[in-house]
C-alpha cells in the first residue's frame, strides 16, 4: 500500500496536469515534483509536505499540510495571482480520487505572492490541509 502522502500527491498531480484552465496559463506538462533546470516559465512545483498521524484504536488516518509553488518571470504579480486562483479553484471544485486512501477533507489554508530578488522571479505559495483515511 502506498503512503497517504504519496497517494494524495499522485491525485493532485493528475488533477492539476489535466486541468485545461491551468494548462492554458502555464502550458502543458508544467506541473513538477522537481522542475528541470531548463524549463520555461511559468510552471508549478510541489513543495513541502508535512504528515501528522491522527489514528485511533479503531481508525487510521493522517492530516497533511502541503505546499504548491508557482514560478513566473512575468512583469508584476498578475500572472502569478491568476495561476494561484486557478489552482485554488481546481482543487476546491474537483473531488480528488486516491488509490488506497479516502480524502475526507481538503481545505485551502494560506497564499502568498512575492517577488524573489535573488532568483528574479515571482513566486506564489499555496498551502492546503488534507485529511485522509485508509480506504475500506
Please tell me the CATH code under which domain 4-134 is placed. 3.30.2000.30
pLDDT digits (tens, 9 = 90+) for 1-28: 579 999 999 999 999 999 999 999 999 9
The grid coordinates listed for 85 are 486562483
Cell numbers 497564499 correspond to: 111
Q: What does the domain layout of the chain look like in residue ranges?
A: 4-134
Residue 46: name the closest of 26, 66, 24, 73 by CA: 66
CA distance 125 to 136: 34
Cα dihedral sign, 95-23-12-113: negative
Model pTM greater than 0.75? Answer: yes
N-terminal to C-terminal alpha carbon distance within the chain: 13
The grid coordinates listed for 4 are 497517504
CA distance 49 to 117: 25
Which pLDDT value is given to residue 135? Answer: 83
CA distance 124 to 136: 37
CA distance 18 to 34: 18
pLDDT digits (tens, 9 = 90+) for 53-99: 887 877 788 999 999 999 999 999 999 999 999 999 999 987 899 99
Amino acid at each position: 500500500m502506498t503512503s497517504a502522502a504519496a497517494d494524495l500527491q499522485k491525485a493532485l498531480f493528475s488533477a492539476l496536469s489535466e486541468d485545461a484552465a491551468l494548462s492554458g496559463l502555464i502550458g502543458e506538462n508544467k506541473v513538477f515534483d522537481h522542475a528541470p533546470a531548463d524549463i520555461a516559465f511559468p510552471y508549478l512545483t510541489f513543495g513541502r509536505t508535512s504528515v501528522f498521524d491522527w489514528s485511533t484504536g479503531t481508525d487510521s488516518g493522517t492530516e497533511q499540510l502541503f505546499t504548491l509553488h508557482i514560478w513566473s518571470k512575468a512583469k508584476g504579480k498578475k500572472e502569478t495571482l491568476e495561476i494561484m486562483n486557478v489552482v485554488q479553484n481546481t482543487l476546491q471544485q474537483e473531488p480528488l480520487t486516491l488509490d488506497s486512501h479516502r480524502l475526507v477533507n481538503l481545505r485551502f489554508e494560506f497564499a502568498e505572492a512575492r517577488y524573489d530578488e535573488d532568483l528574479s522571479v515571482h513566486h506564489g505559495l499555496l498551502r492546503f490541509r488534507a485529511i485522509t483515511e485508509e480506504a475500506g
